[in-house]
Structures are given as structure tokens and as C-alpha cells.
Chains A and B, each alone.
Chain A
């Protein structure tokens, strides 16, 4: 069973700054990684699939990279609406597994 580990647990960033979130898989998952955004009281929303493909309607300031076991989600210039919890998820092996989440908070 693959374990997904995200870092850091909490990231404090000022609006307009860059945020870099990391996700590590316990074994290779190729590029079968998705990122989701969840705001308080809302369902998760797909941001990125295939490690780097933005979902429809996702702003270009969100970018994903990586393959194998190391992945990164970058938010180039944080907007107020981007403060949320972000989860990575692998879908290369059964069972699908989520990371524990990274909370991006206002500094």
C-alpha cells in the first residue's frame, strides 16, 4: 500500500507571494498524481491531474510538477481565494491514497 506524505503541514504565506507544496509517495507512482483544493465547509475540487495538467477553469498560477515519487504544487502569486487545504492523491496503485493535506494560511 502506497503512503503519501505532504510537507509542510501548514504553510504561512503573504498574499502575492509564491507557495510551494510538496508531496512524496512511498514508491513510484509515475505521473499518476492529482492535487485537490478544499476550502472550509466545501467539497474538494480537482486542481491538477497527471501531476501537471490543470483541470478546466483552474487559473494558470497553479502548476504541478514531478514524477516517480516526488511532486510539487506551486501557486505563483497567492490570491485571497487560494487560502485553503491542499491534498495530493495517487491513483497509480490500489488503493487510491491521499496525503494528509497542507494548509495554506495567511501570514
Chain B
């Protein structure tokens, strides 16, 4: 059974940093691209960042480019999102999601339950 479990969210002050983690199980991690998708309170879904199965091709939404870094550790089946210079508008539930192939021009077939990031003073 595919499982994705996020952690690392919490309350952080504007300008602060957080590192989100997503532990994957039930599939061959390196065979699948992975993405982070966020959802601000009461709003829709926004793709944030993705990385190929090989880990060689990270990509970012313009709204977070230069402030976040995605990475993966296949030895630990874990996806990461390092977020710096956080702003109030980054407040959201952050979902880890699996792509159905090794490349991220593919649909998202499994999602984690999400971790809440709140940026506030």
C-alpha cells in the first residue's frame, strides 16, 4: 500500500525557515517523480515544486522560486522541502504527492495528508 507521510510544519515568524519532510512507503521511491502542492486556508490547490525520480531536475513555481529548495533521499525514501524567507502568503497545508511516472509531466496518483505551515508574528 502506497503511503506518504508529511511532517515538519508549524508556526514560524515571517522571514523564518522550515524544512518539510515526506516519508514514502509501499513503492519504489526512485521510480517516481514527486511534488509539493499547497492549499491556503479556504483556497484551491497550488503546485509548489517538483523533482524527477532521479532527483536531477528540481523545479519551482514562480511564487516560491529562490526561497525554497526541493530534494530527495532515496536511501531513506524521503522527500524534503526547505523553505526560507517565509511570508504570510506561504501559510497553507503542504501536501506531498507522487507522480505516476519518473517525470513530473504526469498526474499525481497518491497524496499525503498534509502538514500545516503557518507564517505569522
Contact = CB atoms under 8 A, between A and B. Distances in A.
B44 A98 contact: yes
B107 A34 contact: yes
Contacts of A101: 44-45
Q: Is the interface of B mostly helix, strand, loop or mixed?
A: strand
Nearest to A56: B109
A84 to B, nearest CB: 13
A13 interface: no
A20 interface: no
B11 interface: no
Interface stretch (B14-22, B66-74, B80-88, B111-119): B111-119
Contacts of B59: 94-95
Chain B: interface size category: 20 to 34
A101 B90 CA distance: 20
Nearest to B6: A43
A95 B47 contact: yes
B57 to A, nearest CB: 10
B78 interface: no
Nearest to B98: A46
Contact of A55 (B44, B46, B97, B109): B109
A16 interface: no
10 contacts: A34-B108, A44-B97, A45-B111, A46-B110, A55-B109, A94-B105, A96-B104, A96-B105, A98-B44, A98-B47
